[in-house]
Structure 1
Amino acid sequence: MDFLRPTDWAGALAAKAAHPDAVPIAGGTDVMVELTFDRRRPDRLLDLSGIPELRRWETGERTVRLGAAVPYRAVLDHLAGPLPALALAARTVGSPQIRNRGSVGGNLGAASPAGDSHPALLAAGAEVEAASVRGTRRIPIDAFYTGVKRNALAPDELIRAIHIDRATGPQQFAKVGTRNAMVIAVCAFALALHPHTGTVRTGIGSAAPTPVRAPDAEDYLTGALAGAGLWEDPRPLPEAVRRRFAELAATACRPIDDVRGTARYRVHAVGVLARRTLDRTWDAYTKGLTPCA
């Protein structure tokens, strides 16, 4: 196995162009597991850990640009205000050691449907900055996941950064696991209120071949809030609205039975998580709380 270790971004792109089969590695929290259990044996690894710019983030007036190798620990410590759902998701990732090494960019590269960051990114409406020697492009998060552990990157592309709008309303993330910590999600759900546009967005993990949104649930809740004037005059949500939102969120799932849970349980659990996150986000909105994790 060849080990490629560029020291700057231009060198990384050149190495990926010359060796499209090279597997990127930074924190190694996904790749090293696959190597250890002999699930993957690539001819080349492309080590990105020596490229400083990938570990930087920039907080603008409207968006956050998150370098691909920024660890979850930094999201927790520094970005819980502008990115509350992502910070909540980061808190559930593995152990402190994993959070110190693992990154959102690595989660995206692996594209596992159970990745903890995916629901939060979908709910926030993120964009993935992909780059190659041919240039740079942004991929909307909705178009990024193309199949089980597959993404929209071209063979010569690397993830450079993730662009995420700063939260303008409350956000929540919740997941169900077989224990309370250091666990792969049985299912996960994120919800973000976007009062500046009068819309809501969702994200579901580990309940379909790819991370997905619940568009019918989003459209229903958006219509219910607008129709009752609740964005302008926040009041408790009617029970029928809360129940219907949860039902529609559950219908967006296409789960399977596996060692962590049955498909039937996942559908039920997503409905429960959808209702809980709705209750928490709307309660925060009615109280005028800032969108922090």
Structure 2
Amino acid sequence: MEFLQPSTLGEALEAKAAHPDAVPIAGGTDVMVEINFDKHRPSALLDLNRVGELAEWAPDNGHIRLGAGVSYARVINELPGKLPGLAMAARTVGSPQIRNRGTVGGNLGAASPAGDSHPALLAAGAVVEAASVRGSRRIPIDEFFTGVKRNALAPDELITAVLVESASGPQQFCKIGTRNAMVIAVSAFGLALHSEERTVGAGIGSAAPTPRRATDAERWLAGALADGGHWDSKTALPPALLAEFANRVRAAASPIDDVRGSAAYRLHSLAVMARRALAWAWADYQNGGD
């Protein structure tokens, strides 16, 4: 196995172009598990830890440009106000050691249906920035996941960053697992109330072949909040509205039975999480908080 260790982003892109089968590695929290269990034996590893450009974040025209090498721990410590949903999701990832090493870019690249950052990124309407020696492009998060552990990257591309709009309203993240810590999600849900645009984002994880948005639930809730005058009045949401939103989120999922949980349990837990997340986010909105 060849080990490639570029020092700059340019060198990394050149190495990926020359070795399209090389597997990028930063934290190694997914890649090393597959190698150690002999599930994957790549011809080359492309170590990105020396590429400083990937480990930076900065404001970018109303968004946060989050470098692919920024760790979960840094999201938790440095960005809870700007990206609250993602910070909540990051807190549920593994152990402190995993959060110190694992990166949002690596989570995206793995494209697991159960990736913890994905529901929050879907709810926030994130955009993935990919680059190669041919140039760079931006991929809407809705179009990034193409199948089970498959993504829209070309063989010579690397994820360089993810652009996430700074929160304009409350966000929530919920996750169900077989125990309270260091667990892969049985199902997960992310919610964002974009109060300035008066739109809603809802992301589903571990309940379909790919992470996905609950687009019908998003549109319905935004319309119901507008029609009921709730955005302006901040009045309590009727139980029927919470229940209908939960049902529409559940309808957006297409889970399977597996060792972690049944399809029926995933559907039930998604509805419960959607109802609770909306109630919590709305309470924050009523109190003027983010």
What's the TM-score once normalised by structure 1's chain length? 0.98
Displacement after TM superposition at 1:233 (Å):
1.2
Displacement after TM superposition at 1:189 (Å):
0.2
Displacement after TM superposition at 1:86 (Å):
0.1
Q: Distance in 1 between matches of 2:109 and 2:60?
A: 25
Displacement after TM superposition at 1:61 (Å):
5.8
AA matched with 1:251 = A
Q: Distance in 2 between matches of 1:59 and 1:72?
A: 18
What's the TM-score once normalised by structure 2's chain length? 0.99
Percentage of identical aligned residues: 65
1:81 equivalenced with 2:70 (yes/no)? no
Q: Distance in 1 between matches of 2:142 and 2:112?
A: 15
The count of aligned residue pairs is 290
Q: Distance in 2 between matches of 1:192 and 1:178?
A: 25
Secondary structure of residue in 1 paired with 2:232: coil
1:187 counterpart residue number? 187
1:52 counterpart residue number? 52
Q: Which runs of no fewer than 5 residues in structure 2 stay unpaired?
A: none
1:86-125 matched pairs, under 5 angstroms:
86-125=86-125
Q: Deviations over 1:165-199 (max 9, x none)?
A: 00000000010000000000000000000011111
RMSD: 0.7
1:1-293 matched pairs, under 5 angstroms:
1-60=1-60, 62-289=62-289, 291=290
Q: Distance in 2 between matches of 1:159 and 1:215?
A: 25
Secondary structure of residue in 2 paired with 1:231: helix
Secondary structure of residue in 2 paired with 1:207: coil
Q: Which runs of no fewer than 5 residues in structure 1 stay unpaired?
A: none
Displacement after TM superposition at 1:232 (Å):
1.2
Q: Distance in 1 between matches of 2:214 and 2:165?
A: 20
Displacement after TM superposition at 1:60 (Å):
4.4
Q: Distance in 1 between matches of 2:213 and 2:138?
A: 19
4+ long deviations beyond 4 Å:
none
Displacement after TM superposition at 1:278 (Å):
0.3
